[in-house]
Structure formats: structure tokens, C-alpha cells
Amino acid sequence: MQLKIGVIKGDGIGPEIVAEAIKVLRRIEQVYNHNITYESLLLGGASIDACGVPLTEETVFQAKKCDGVLMGSIGGDPNSSAWYQLEPDRRPEAGLLKMRKELNLFANLRPAFLYPALKNACPLREEIANQGFDMMIVRELTGGLYFGKRSTEVINGVLTAKDELIYQENEIRRIAIRAFEIARKRRGKVCSVDKVNVLDSSRLWRKIVTEVHSDYLDVVLEHMLVDNCAMQLVKNPADFDVILTENMFGDILSDEASMITGSIGMLPSASLNESKFGLYEPSGGSAPDIAGLGIANPIATILSAAMMLRYTFDLEQEAAAIETAITEVLKAGYRTIDIMSEEKIQVNTVQMGDEICKRIEKTYRMER
């Protein structure tokens, strides 16, 4: 297969973790006989440094010509980076939000899975960790508070900030459909998360999700308030299958879900539009404090590349080969520092990528 992938290395640890994901993709290319071309694109801090803005028209144009885009994390330390002296709409994060909107990437999938080998890294009580968990957060990504009008002005002599939270029924409907479709291929459960006891947008959310459910009666639908969900995630994570939620709640809950997997460095994500196009990135940030040290965990980015093979290219076997390789590497005891525990073998970013590559060939040989 001939594939064209856009690559945004990003800021902080971004270039280091993306390099490992590309190494793994090159191995997949060789072993499974594909031909991938890589187009380098700029976004975030690197784009500000090179072009003065966090996202150029050129990047959007080039990204649209790719089948999918693989991205490292973007942004820097708000307390020390010059990027944060700029107006908010010229900062690195603004570039990412604009990219999501321009490419209509409304469906953000964030799987959170506890590898049996990483039970020790899970901060939850042993009896909870022992049950394991496997959930998929489906976060609406192009609406809500993130994209409403905002302002800070003096009203009646008082400095006042406003952020508008808008949801249209069609925006809720299309993400709900995605969540039900995904649940059908998993354990058939959707938990829709809102704040219906306070917000009008949540009342519309619940109404539309309930309507969409009538086409998916084989899937079990439950509604949950977001504050309760935050609690249930640490109390009983095994109960969740698909979590469907709006943009801001999804941002917060997905960080929580990632932390209980042992490290935010384990969690991939896919941001998809109506068709097969997707932007794939680790859920974690750019970790400027450890950038350049070669110790970052590349697994989230490598898993994001696997998601790209699955969702954009329909290459299920190749995606599964990467996932199996990662499971094997963890089973064999290799750990980057963020998931290190007693008696395990500590490796750096590059070594982790190498160990995963080695096991891809092994999986391939076993398949034959």
C-alpha cells in the first residue's frame, strides 16, 4: 500500500518521541511491504519560531493532501517560554485548536487500558488495579467552550472574563453516532457524561444522545454527571467501556484516565473527521522539563501511529502487530523512567523504540 503521512514533530519531547514512532512505522513498512512517504509539517512553537504564527495556511494545505498526520506534542513551559508572552491566539495551543477546526476533526478517541504488566505503576489501590480496565473516551473536539467567543473587558467598572459554551444538535448527534458505533465493536456500553443538573448545553446533549440511542438499542446507554464520573474513574474504572463526552469534560477526564494507566506517556489519541482522515498524537503534553534528555516514553506516540494504521488505513494486522510488540516489551520488563518499578530494566527513549521494533518482526513471523 502507498501511504502519505504528514509529520509534525512538535515541541519539547515531541521530536524525540516522533522519531521512535517513525522508526516503528519504517519497520512495519519493511516487514509488511508498504510504501510510506513522510511530509514534514510545522505546528505549534516550532511554527512560531520559523514562521511567526503557530499554524500557517501552508501547513493546513499540506496536511489536507496527506492521508493522515502524526504529531508529537506541542507547547512549552508557560512560565519561561517566550511563546507565552504572545497574545493567546498566537501561542502554540492556538495552532492546534485551529488545526482541529480547519480539518473538522470532531471525534477524538482516547483509549485508556491498563497493561497487566503495568499494574505496579497504577496509582489505584491494588484490588482495583487487579481488576484492570479498558475504556475508550470519545471526546467531542471542535465545539463547546474551546471554540465559543471569549472576551475580557471592564463591565460596570469590574474586569470581567467571558467564555461562551455552545453546542448545536448536529454536533452532538455526529459524535454520539461515533460513540455508539465504537461501542458496538467493543463491549456494547456507552456512558454519556454531562452536567445536566446545571448546564443547558448538557440538557441538549442528553436529549440528543438519547435520541441517537434509539438507533442503537443493542448498546447499553447510561448517563452520568461529570463530577460523579471523575470519582467513578478512580473507584471503579473496570465498569467503563465507551465514555462519550463534550470537549472540556473530555479534556479533563482523559488526563485522569491516562494517569490511572500508570503514566500519561502511555496514552495515544486519534482525532478524526467524517471520512478516514485523522490527526494522531499522544494525549500527554510536550514535557519541556525533560526535553532533550532522551528519557521520554515514546509508547503513546507509537500507539498513536498504530491507531493511524487502524483508523485511516484499515491495516488492522499491522496496528495489532505494534500493539502486541508493546505488550511483549512491557512483559519482558523494559521500562522508561515514568513507568519504572523495582527489578525492571530501565531504558531510554531510543532503546524503547528499538525493543518494540525487534518484536514487530517476531509477531510477523508468528503470523506466517
Reading the block at residue 279, the C-alpha cell is: 490527526
Output 150 or 362, the one with its CB closest to ligand IPM.
Answer: 150
Which of 195, 216, 241, 280 is the catalytic position? Answer: 195
Residue 218 annotated among the catalytic residues of the structure: no
Q: Which of 16, 67, 93, 171 binds ligand IPM (CB under 6 A)?
A: 93
Output 141 or 319, the one with its CB closest to ligand IPM.
Answer: 141
Residue 96 binds what, of ligand IPM, Mg ion, none (CB under 5 to 8 Å, by partner type)?
A: ligand IPM
Closest approach of Cβ 97 to Mg ion, in Å? 12
Counting contacts by CB under 6 A, is residue 251 touching ligand IPM?
yes
Binding mask 56-75 for ligand IPM (x = CB under 6 A): -------------------x
Residue 64 annotated among the catalytic residues of the structure: no
Beta bridge partners of 222: 191
Contacts of 43 (CB under 8 A, 6+ apart): 8, 10, 54, 55, 59, 71, 74, 95, 96, 99
**Residue number of the CB atom closest to ligand IPM:** 93
Q: What is the DSSP letter of 266?
A: G
Which of 227, 235, 331, 362 is the catalytic position? Answer: 227
Counting contacts by CB under 5 A, is residue 251 touching Mg ion?
yes
Output 25 or 135, the one with its CB closest to Mg ion.
Answer: 135
Chain centre to alpha carbon of residue 89: 22
Closest approach of Cβ 38 to Mg ion, in Å? 26
Q: Are 274 and 326 in contact (CB under 8 A)?
A: no
Output 107 or 196, the one with its CB closest to Mg ion.
Answer: 107
β-pairing, 158-163 with 35-41? Answer: unpaired
The piece of 86-94, 113-121, 246-254, 264-272 that touches Mg ion (CB under 5 A) is: 246-254
Residue 163 annotated among the catalytic residues of the structure: no
Supply the DSSP string of 269-302, one letter for each residue: EEEE-SSS-EEEEESS---GGGTTSS----HHHH
Residue 67 annotated among the catalytic residues of the structure: no
In three-state secondary structure terms, 69 is strand
Residue 195 annotated among the catalytic residues of the structure: yes
Counting contacts by CB under 5 A, is residue 11 touching Mg ion?
no
Q: Which of 43, 96, 124, 287 binds ligand IPM (CB under 6 A)?
A: 96
Based on its alpha-carbon atoms, the radius of gyration of the chain, rounded to whole angstroms, reads 20
Supply the DSSP string of 145-193, one letter for each residue: GGGS-EEEEEETTEEEEEE-----HHHHHHHHHHHHHHHHTTTSEEEEE
Which of 251, 280, 311, 338 is the catalytic position? Answer: 251
Closest approach of Cβ 136 to ligand IPM, in Å? 15
Closest approach of Cβ 256 to Mg ion, in Å? 10
Closest approach of Cβ 102 to ligand IPM, in Å? 15
In three-state secondary structure terms, 70 is strand
Q: Give buried/exposed letters for 355-367 (b at 16+ CB in 10 A, else e).
A: bbbebbeebbeee
Output 146 or 216, the one with its CB closest to ligand IPM.
Answer: 146
Q: Give buried/exposed letters for 265-300 (b at 16+ CB in 10 A, else e).
A: bbbbbbbbeeeebbbbbbbbbbbbebbeeebbbbbb
Closest approach of Cβ 161 to Mg ion, in Å? 21
Reading the block at residue 73, the C-alpha cell is: 506534542
**Residue number of the CB atom closest to Mg ion:** 251
Classify residue 339 as exposed, middle or buried by CB count within 10 Å of its CB (0-12, 13-18, 19+): buried
Interface with ligand IPM by CB under 6 A: which residues?
75, 93, 96, 251
Residues carrying an active site annotation: 146, 195, 227, 251, 255
Interface with Mg ion by CB under 5 A: which residues?
251
